[in-house]
Amino acid sequence: MSLFPSEFRIGPVPVAPATVLAPMAGVTDTVFRRLIRNQGGCGLIMTEFTSSHGVVKSVGARKMTRTFRYLAFQPEEHPISAQLFGSDVQVMAEAARVCQDLGFDVVDINFGCPVNKVVKCNGGSGLLRDLPLVQEILQAVRAAITIPLTMKFRAGWNDQELVAVQMARLAENCGLQAVALHPRTREQGYAGKSDWTRIAEVKQAVKNIVVIGNGDVLTPEDAVRMAQETGCDAVMIGRAASSNPWIFRQIQQYLKTGRYDHPTEQQRYEIMKTYYEMLRERDEPDAVGKMKQFATYFTHGVRNGSKLRVDIYRAMDAARILECVDAFFETELEAIPA
């Protein structure tokens, strides 16, 4: 277990443990991030990826927009990184300044999103085909802020256009403090397998920059294996954290003892109810939609979870959804032998 890093630094920002919650659109809002933070074991959390144009327009309009809701966070979320996407050099620089003024510890640039509507605007992984523009963006944003700058990117557009090593070296040369590589290509989307050897190649290609590995880390064993096989400085976890918010704590248990606890039905009930109540407290505009979305994640591994999902999908308001959750688990917990 000793081959797993205990901590790392992004410039002057210490991060411990050496684990990162990946930015996920529609998932990593302030409510979910705080839920993860409260379980323990996660070193750095990140916002949903946020449009740089949206940030700049919101500042100009001087009003609370949907974009600014993406960037809302609480003091207990530190250290926290704001992730931006876009392809306009000056707009990206201005948006980064806004994030710094809002109190973020780190700004991250997204060069990984494979979604068509983002790529069509030359954002996300679309920029992997234009390294000169990537360099312009990195230089402009680096000059615009004093807090650490990082980037998350994919291995390339496809298997014939791999640019992971070039991207990492570009980041190092432009003064970034860390990079996170998801080693699938844009063409792969989320299909197929992550080629972790590409993370190892990036780690070997740079000298003075933190390398964070991402992709197909589903269990604590995967996290340790990624660190051992690639030499990365930290491990980033995305989709697995949606259905298993305890995974970061489990990694720490595994490193200390060689084993880890699996959540009980009672704990699954408590985390689902806690998340739903946090949504209601925040007065989330789409609380019902979020509850239905997260029902899919949180019932993963729950006995008879499909029944609960059906009841939640049919419910029309938040109060009814909470009633469904209470009733379901009351029945299920009574059925568990003492």
Going residue by residue through the chain, which has 338 residues, state the pLDDT in tens, using 9 for 90 and above. 457 999 999 999 999 999 999 999 999 999 999 999 999 999 999 999 999 999 998 886 665 567 778 899 999 999 999 999 999 999 999 999 999 999 999 999 999 776 666 766 667 778 888 999 999 999 999 999 999 999 999 998 888 999 999 999 999 999 999 999 999 998 887 888 899 999 999 999 999 999 999 999 999 999 999 999 999 999 999 999 999 999 999 999 999 999 999 999 999 999 999 999 999 888 777 889 999 999 999 988 888 899 999 999 999 999 999 999 999 999 888 777 65
Length reported for the chain:
338
On whether the CB atoms of residues 86 and 129 are closer than 8 A, the answer is no
Phi, psi for 112 (deg, rounded to 5) = -125, -20
- Choice among 42, 113, 174, 324 that is catalytic: 113
Q: What's the pLDDT score for residue 190?
A: 81
Q: What's the pLDDT score for residue 286?
A: 86
Buried b (16+ CB within 10 A) or exposed e, 199-215: bbbbbebbeebbbbbbb
CA distance 313 to 294: 11
Query: 286 CB contacts (<8 Å, ≥6 apart)?
Result: none
Q: Which amino acid does the sequence have at 210? A: V
On whether the CB atoms of residues 30 and 282 are closer than 8 A, the answer is yes
Q: What's the pLDDT score for residue 137?
A: 97
User: Can you give the pTM of this predicted structure?
Assistant: 0.94
Q: What's the pLDDT score for residue 117?
A: 67
DSSP string, 79-131: SEEEEEE-S-HHHHHHHHHHHHHHT-SEEEEEE----HHHHTTT-GGGGGG-H
Between CA 249 and CA 122, with CA 45 as vertex, the angle to 5 degrees is: 135
**113 tagged catalytic:** yes
Closest CA to 194 of 202, 182, 206, 210: 182
SS3 8: strand
Q: What's the pLDDT score for residue 154?
A: 93
Closest CA to 148 of 215, 197, 81, 60: 81
